[in-house]
Amino acid sequence: MNTTPDTTPLPTIEYVLPVEGMTCASCVNRIERFLRKTPGVSDAFVNLATERATVLVDPAVAGRAELVGAIEAAGYDVRAEAQATAEAPAGDLDAETAADDAERAVAQRRTLFQASVAIGAALIFMVLMFWPQTVVAMEDLNKLILWPATFIQFWAGGRFYRAAWRAARHGSATMDTLVAVGTSAAWAYSVFVTMYPEVVHQAGLHPETYFDSSAIIIGLILVGRWLEQRAKGQTTGAIRRLVGLQAKTATLVRGTEEVEVAIAAIVVGDLLRVRPGEKVPVDGVIVEGTSAVDEAMLTGEPMPATKSVGDEVIGATLNTTGSFVMRATRVGKDTALANIVALVQRAQGSKAPIQATVDRIAEIFVPAVLVVAALSFVAWFLFGPDPRLTLALTAFIGVVIIACPCAMGLATPTAIMVGTGKGAEAGVLVRGGAALEAAGRLDTVVLDKTGTLTLGKPAVAALIAAPGFEARTVLDLAASLETGSEHPLGRAVVEHARRDELGFAAVQGFAAAPGHGVSGRVD
């Protein structure tokens, strides 16, 4: 008896974790570094646009808990996994997508509201700044503006402080650090000028405040965040359209009864009735009946495939002619459609090789900006013209705010999301960002299957009548008979005849034989 223990390593498994708190490419690089240092992790990449971390792990060494711990150690949070409810059962792709969309919509509305309030307040502050001082003294105006400006600073700008503090606690700096430092400098100086105007006068300076500047900066950056969130929502349209292919209900066969149930209530082994014109609810095998099933959404073939007892049918394909009973073999996230959705999501969350370079640059970019901003302040304060403090502060704020590297970290992943999404809409599945980047250098495409190059809709190319018959008469007879057929070839004949106003003759004894054609008597 061989007692040698099995030392064969387990295959790595993939975890996809939704991450909260990321704002720029430096966040991405930091999380990836912490994940890759975790024992058992063979690779990890984080996508800023999809806000997801994809990690390959040896299950014998680490699991989800260790990965969540690594992300939290980096200073970020992992959203809790959605729980199944009566309204959104597990395995209901449509309900899960709707829940994500609803959560995203709430976040967008909150961001847009805060941005609108901040920009509106900033415009009011600007108007008051030009108010004649013969009516109200500048010191009194500053005190009037102080309280709403402080509210804007910490309510609308609160997200920047929270993110900057989280990054600082873990020894890093992000885009939020730049925003928080820049607007805080403008706000704090303005508060000092408002509370101690006599000190400013003694220094020979005019008591100018920058409440409007800090508010408008927060508002405009929030508008940018809102546009980012909106772009992310639009790029998930391909996923929604794929999920929309899924049937919403199914007809469950229970003995002699047939009951309509929600798609998520189906379990493996259930018997389901599929009638003509209905979508196949889940993957399964036909146990009774014969039909022609349109599988174009899966194979690209325009012609329906004839299916009979023992043949496999795929969920979301369309039953065209006959009725059949099938036994469910794969449901929920195990179906072919769910795997396609997962493939598109994985592609949208992948990285192009160029993005790794961008992420590395972004990580050192933020600290470098802070250093340059500090040097600008010192240079203007020591060597600049009067008023030195005002000009130095303006230079510091300008460098910090303008250098925010939002677009650098978001442009590439958003482009990948759009590219893979548009491909999925056209029936082209892109494996990942590397393939998409390489596609830009292609000059030749070789295809080994003609079915995928058709329009997906048959059309009559030519009509040749047998001796003794006229083509027009044959077309009239055939189209009249095919008017009662649901087959794509039959519809093509009818459409061709309609151009010559043919195919309207009465038909008697019409019968359709799945896979063999139609028969009947015309006139």
| ∠ Cα 31 32 33 (to 5°) | 90
CA distances from 362 to 29, 95, 368, 409 (A): 8, 37, 10, 7
Please write the tens of the pLDDT for every residue from 198-253.
877 776 666 678 888 889 889 988 887 887 777 666 656 666 777 777 888 899 99
Q: What is the pLDDT of residue 82?
A: 46
Q: Residue 25 class from Cβ within 10 Å (0-12 exposed, 13-18 middle, 19+ buried)?
A: buried
pLDDT at 147 (0 to 100) = 92
Bigger pLDDT: 417 or 469? 469
Look at 127-136, 348-357, 378-387, 477-486 and tell me which has the smallest mean pLDDT.
348-357
What is the per-residue pLDDT across 33-91, written as a single tens digit (0 to 9) for each?
899 999 999 888 887 777 888 898 988 888 888 999 999 888 888 887 644 333 334 44
Q: What is the reported pLDDT for 359?
A: 62
Contact 167, 174 (CB under 8 A): yes
178 pLDDT tier (thresholds 50, 70, 90): confident
Torsion, Cα 477 483 486 488, to 10 degrees, reads 60
pLDDT digits (tens, 9 = 90+) for 372-400: 989 999 999 898 887 787 788 878 877 87
Active site residues: 448
Tell me whether residue 270 is exposed, middle or buried, using C-beta atoms within 10 angstroms of its C-beta: 0 to 12, 13 to 18, 19 or more. buried
| Residue 352 and residue 434 in contact, taking contact as beta carbons nearer than 8 Å | yes
- Rounded mean pLDDT of 450-478? 83
Residue, of 439 and 301, whose pLDDT is higher: 439
Average the pLDDT over 85-99 and give the result: 52
Mean pLDDT value across the chain:
81
Amino acid present at 7: T
What is the per-residue pLDDT across 402-457, written as a single tens digit (0 to 9) for each? 765 555 555 666 677 777 777 777 767 777 777 888 888 889 988 776 555 667 67
Euclidean distance between CA atoms 235 and 220, whole angstroms:
23
Is the model's pLDDT at 93 over the cut of 70? no
| Residue 36 CB-half CA count within 13 A | 10
Q: Please state, for a pLDDT cut of 90, what percent of the chain lies above it.
A: 20
As a whole-number percent, the residues of the chain with pLDDT over 70 amount to 82
pLDDT of residue 325: 92
Quick one: tokens of 184?
A: 């805080």
Stretch 475-481: mean pLDDT: 91
Q: What is the mean pLDDT of residues 171-191?
A: 83
Average pLDDT over residues 124-142: 77
Give which of 515, 504, 495 is closest to 455, Cα–Cα: 495
The whole-number pLDDT of residue 456 equals: 65
Confidence check: pLDDT of 502 > 80: yes
pLDDT band at 23 (very low <50, low <70, confident <90, very high): confident
Tokens 């873990």 belong to 170
Interhelix angle for 175-195 vs 211-235, to 10°? 160
Confidence at residue 153, expressed as pLDDT on a 0 to 100 scale: 93
